[in-house]
Amino acid sequence: MNCLILGSGKIGIDLYIKCKRSKFFKNIYIFNRNKFSIGAKYCLANKFRYFNTGINGLIKNIDLNDLNLIYDATSAEASVSNYKLLKTHLNLPNFFYINLTPSSIGEYVVPYHSLKAKYKSINLITCGGQSSIPLIIELKKILPSLIYVELVSSISSISAGPATRKNVNDYIENTQSAISKLSGIKKNKVIINLNPSNPPVNMMNSIFFECKKKLHKIDFIRILKVLRTINKNIKFYIPGFNAKLFKTESKNVFRITIRVVGQGDYLPSYAGNLDIITSAAAYLPKLINEKNYH
């Protein structure tokens, strides 16, 4: 397979490195519109297959007949115009389009639950969605009285670049929408905090679960079993993932805390929030190939 990455920011570069390490792609291209950006300079210094012509110029530089997958690692706002241009100038149904921004473009997909349909346009939601939704879906199966979920994402402020800060509202709306659609829990809330502490803290999500009924010992045994399974299996593509259970004073409420330590490719290890999304994106081609969707 051959892939194209739109955007040479932190996410785009980290994704390029992960895709190259996977050895799944024959050719990897990365595009942006500003050859003077920090990311562009890094791409050139490290001899990436980099172009600064943006979408309008990629047709001249890439054999589209040999392209299988397009990653959008720009911003929520830019992804909308990117998608329109791709639909206008390319035969988009021939490609897989994977959206790493918090815009609403594409069908929500969490790699943990595989690909249940042949989606050509895929939405990876957000880091909070990718880390929490596998837990929410699995816990809903064993806790039918689950009625409310609250996700509080805390990330190091230094790992939140301009695009992340600009996309906060999109992040919240897209994560809430994905939780509702994929887990069936319509009543949910998402909060994001940028932690300015120095040294920087690792990314952490706290998920509060509320049930209609009082929880008993057998319920917590089942919850712990689900956590063990997810902690084991999700590490296939997010190695630094770890979730723990915490009880509360309320008998029908409990909390699960997720910490993710990044792999330290281009991003620092404390930027687990960004590492989640690039790890999920780099893992998807394997699923596409296994399902014979290509």
Q: φ and ψ at 276, to 5 degrees?
A: -60, -50
CA count, 13 A, side-chain hemisphere, 285: 23
DSSP 105-116: -SEE--GGG--S
> How crowded is the C-beta side of 85, counted as CA atoms within 13 Å?
14
Q: Give the residue numbers annotated as catalytic, written as ranges.
A: 127
Assess contact for 258 and 212: CB atoms under 8 A: no
Asked if the bond preceding 200 is cis, omega within 30° of 0, the reply is no
> Closest Cα to residue 151, out of 124, 178, 181?
178
Q: Is residue 275 within 8 Å of 14, Cβ to Cβ? A: yes
